[in-house]
């Protein structure tokens, strides 16, 4: 099946006529479709549509824009199962997870729809008599949204819904591994009543379509989720050209298990955090920091359960872990397993490609656990983005916090303990944008800020209400009704 770009309300081929294939990572013989391999001319066309639409869209009252998002949320509910199956087929994670991905998009639609009747500014007393002061939010302009493949519906909604609610227009460039989800999403937005040109979809590879979009002179804002290396390139260009940029980048998240923890609960959390989405989450549990008094009990239980995880195509409801996204991802995981062995970590289970039966034609890898991992080993420092868990043994709470913070990333974190004092100290001392107490490192909710510190991003937060600080410009307004010239600080000293 041939898919197209969506520009100014029309489905269009790329200017070059070139395409790329999208295949099921669980069954490479399953061709999902061919998509436009877009380039600068396609981005120019989308930009012209977005700029034209911005002139009128920014004047639509925010509550009316919010009503369109409510309709989009209802349509996402209607098409939830269809969308989940599209996602699973093109990126691999199991259906219960892709249903959750769509639900996150639904939640995001309703959250942002409600904010259409808020979008609060501030009023404040003026320092002179007969004068009024306030600040209000306004749209930024045309926004470039570049989204990853691991949450192919949820992350676009995190960016797109607040962007258009605030009166911006957008050009969405989805990951080339998950273009069909984006295409269906844009169809749904059109059905919900989003006017032509407000949302434009340009498919293509990052080095071609993505680069052309980021570097387009008329893009006012870039919102990117992906690797730290690419994020640095985008930040550098935007900085040189004074473009607003929001980056959500990598993670090397850790879960702490103290000796007083509910071990059964902590083990369940570690398994879900490490092997949910085949470890392909920016919030995945990559490191497990365990008190030495319970380390052997924890690792024995983890190994026993990890070896029972059923691996296969996510469309099978009995499967618990699907494939990696592509060949390069699987090769990367295999390389890090070799690195872990070379560094002296002990491989407890997994560590190999899984190609039994129907899995022979996909990018599957076993659930893998290392112990005897030291905090400075590469497998404890570098983002693997696969089903690999590194167990680090510690002797105290203070050592656990130090080990958790010993990374260049700071996205998500977790501690299991029954000691309320430790819990509150962890909330204070952990260097991360997200901290869970007695829960895994995954499971963010859309009405709270999402993002991290250090190399995880550039300080912005998606989701919640903090996202509006990305997609709006502040304007200060003064109304002087004194009938005479007042000179602010000059008259007020």
Would you list the domain boundaries of the chain?
5-249+457-477, 253-437
User: Where on the phi/psi map is residue 453: left (φ > 0), alpha (ψ -120 to 50), or beta?
Assistant: beta
| Contact of 437 with 276, CB cutoff 8 Å | no
- Which letter does DSSP use for residue 276 in this model? G
Backbone dihedral angles phi then psi of residue 73, each to the nearest 5 degrees = -60, -40
pTM: 0.96
pLDDT at 357: 92
Could you give the angle at which helices 154-165 and 95-115 cross, rounded to 10 degrees? Answer: 10
CA dihedral 258, 261, 267, 269 (to 10 degrees): -100
Q: What is the pLDDT of residue 183?
A: 98
- Compute φ and ψ for 241, nearest 5 degrees: -110, 15
Rounded CA gap, 15 and 264, in Å?
Answer: 57
Residue 79's pLDDT is 98
User: Residue 431's closest CA among 444, 417, 412, 458?
Assistant: 412
Domain 5-249+457-477 sits in CATH 3.40.605.10: yes
> 347 near 338, Cβ under 8 Å?
no
| CA pair distance 221, 213, nearest whole angstrom | 10
Q: Return d(Cα 435, Cα 415) in angstroms, integer.
A: 8
Domain pair 5-249+457-477 / 253-437, same fold:
no
Residue 248 appears among annotated catalytic residues? yes
pLDDT in tens, 215-229: 999 999 999 999 999
Residue 269 vs residues 286, 328, 329, 389, 426: alpha-carbon distances, Å: 12, 28, 24, 12, 17
Structure tokens at 426: 């962890």
363 vs 179: CA distance, rounded Å: 19
CA 332-83-72 angle, 5° bins: 125
pLDDT for the residue 489: 82
Q: Is 70 helix (H, G, I), strand (E, B) or coil?
A: helix
List the catalytic residue out of 97, 104, 208, 248: 248
Catalytic residue chosen out of the listed positions 176, 282, 359, 462:
282
Q: What is the pLDDT of residue 492?
A: 66
CB burial of 414-447 (b: ≥16 within 10 Å; e: otherwise) equals bbbbeeeebbebbeeebbbbbbbeebbbbbbebe
Encode pLDDT of 148-176 as tens digits: 999 999 999 999 999 999 999 999 999 99
Fold of 253-437: Aldehyde Dehydrogenase; Chain A, domain 2 (3.40.309)
Distances (CA, A) of 57 to 142, 217, 369, 423: 11, 21, 51, 47
Helix 295-306 to helix 263-275 angle (10° resolution) is: 50
String of DSSP letters for 114-165: HHTTT---EEEE-SSTTEEEEEEEEE--EEEEE--SSSTTHHHHHHHHHHHH
Tens digit of each residue's pLDDT, the chain (493 residues):
899 999 999 999 999 999 999 999 999 999 999 999 999 999 999 999 999 999 999 999 999 999 999 999 999 999 999 999 999 999 999 999 999 999 999 999 999 999 999 999 999 999 999 999 999 999 999 999 999 999 999 999 999 999 999 999 999 999 999 999 999 999 999 999 999 999 999 999 999 999 999 999 999 999 999 999 999 999 999 999 999 999 999 999 999 999 999 999 999 999 999 999 999 999 999 999 999 999 999 999 999 999 999 999 999 999 999 999 999 999 999 999 999 999 999 999 999 999 999 999 999 999 999 999 999 999 999 999 999 999 999 999 999 999 999 999 999 999 999 999 999 999 999 999 999 999 999 999 999 999 999 999 999 999 999 999 999 999 999 999 999 999 888 876 6
Beta partners for residue 435, in sequence order: 413
Query: In this structure, what token pair is assigned to residue 396?
Result: 């105290």
The per-residue b/e assignment along 230-240, b for 16 or more CB within 10 angstroms, e otherwise, is: bbeebbeebee
Tokens of 30: 């399953």
pLDDT confidence of residue 159: 98
Q: Indicate if 282 belongs to the active site.
A: yes
Please count the other Cβ atoms lying within 10 Å of the Cβ belonging to residue 154. Answer: 23
């Amino acid at each position: 099946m041939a898919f197209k770009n969506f520009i100014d309300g029309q489905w269009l081929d790329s200017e070059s006529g070139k395409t790329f294939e999208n295949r099921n990572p669980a069954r490479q013989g399953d061709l999902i479709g061919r998509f436009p391999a877009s380039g600068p001319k396609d981005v120019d066309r989308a930009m012209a549509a977005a700029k034209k639409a911005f002139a009128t869209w920014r004047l639509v009252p925010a509550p009316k824009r919010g009503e369109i998002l409510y309709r989009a949320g209802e349509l996402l509910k209607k098409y939830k199962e269809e969308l989940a199956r599209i996602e699973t087929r093109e990126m691999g994670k199991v259906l219960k997870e892709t249903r959750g991905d769509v639900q996150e998009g639904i939640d995001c639609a309703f959250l942002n729809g409600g904010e259409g009747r808020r979008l609060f500014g501030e009023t404040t007393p003026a320092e002179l008599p007969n004068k009024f002061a306030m600040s209000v939010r306004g749209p930024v302009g045309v926004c470039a949204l570049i989204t990853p493949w691991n949450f192919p519906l949820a992350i676009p909604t995190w960016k797109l819904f607040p962007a258009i609610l605030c009166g911006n227009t957008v050009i969405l460039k989805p990951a080339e591994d998950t273009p069909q989800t984006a295409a269906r999403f844009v169809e749904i937005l059109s059905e919900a009543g989003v006017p032509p040109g407000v949302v434009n979809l340009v498919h293509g590879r990052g080095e071609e379509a993505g680069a052309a979009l980021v570097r387009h002179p008329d893009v006012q804002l870039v919102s990117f989720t992906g690797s730290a290396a690419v994020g640095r390139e985008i930040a550098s260009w935007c900085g040189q050209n004074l473009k607003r940029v929001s980056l959500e980048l990598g993670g090397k998240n850790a879960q702490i298990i103290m000796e007083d923890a509910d071990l059964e609960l902590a083990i369940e959390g570690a398994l879900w955090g490490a092997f949910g989405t085949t470890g392909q989450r920016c919030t995945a549990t990559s490191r497990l920091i365990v008190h030495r008094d319970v380390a052997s009990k924890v690792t024995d239980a983890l190994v026993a359960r990890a070896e029972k995880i059923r691996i296969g195509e996510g469309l099978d409801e009995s499967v618990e872990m699907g494939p990696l996204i592509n060949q390069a991802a699987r090769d990367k995981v295999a390389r890090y397993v070799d690195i872990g062995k070379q560094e002296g970590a002990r491989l407890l289970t997994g560590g190999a490609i899984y190609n039994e039966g129907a899995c022979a034609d996909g990018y599957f890898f076993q659930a893998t656990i290392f112990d005897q991992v030291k905090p400075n080993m590469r497998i404890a420092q570098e983002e693997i983005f696969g089903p690999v868990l590194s167990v680090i043994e510690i002797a105290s709470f203070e050592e656990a916090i130090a080990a958790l913070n010993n990374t260049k990333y700071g996205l998500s974190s977790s501690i299991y303990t029954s000691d309320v004092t430790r819990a509150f100290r962890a909330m204070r001392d952990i260097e991360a944008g997200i901290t869970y107490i007695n829960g895994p490192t995954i499971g963010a909710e859309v009405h709270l800020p999402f993002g991290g510190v250090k190399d995880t991003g550039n300080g912005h937060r998606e989701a919640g209400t903090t996202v509006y600080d990305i997609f709006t410009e502040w304007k200060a307004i003064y109304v002087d009704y004194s009938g005479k010239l007042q000179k602010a600080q000059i008259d007020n000293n």
